[in-house]
Amino acid sequence: MRPNLDAKTFRVVQSHGTDARVSTETVFHFRQHLGVVHADYAGGGVRFGKLLGVLEGNQIRLRYVQVDPEGHFSSGEALIEASLTPEGRLRLVDRWQREGCGEKGECVMEEA
């Protein structure tokens, strides 16, 4: 399944990881064009974030940068795998790794 994320909004339903900034209060707004995916996101421990990635089948290989409410930046890379929920909505499982410190985690988001 090759998902279409253009103009779709996702809400985080689970977030796990050491010092994870993304939480169930974080909302992602995606755009997609010619296999390139990007999103703005905010909420919870993220004042503002951007991601930019390439869609490869049902996966998105990406880089992200974000700033927290105190003004501290963090960035890293991630691999998102897309699937469908039993109700037919898109679900994204994001496995991320923060640059510099090696922290890792996972968040699950679903189409709003």
Q: Is the pLDDT of residue 18 over 90?
A: no
So what's the pLDDT on residue 28?
98
- pLDDT 10s digits, 43-102: 999 999 999 999 999 999 999 999 999 999 999 999 999 999 999 999 999 999 999 888
Tokens encoding 64: 């992200």
Buried b (16+ CB within 10 A) or exposed e, 49-60: bebebebeeebb
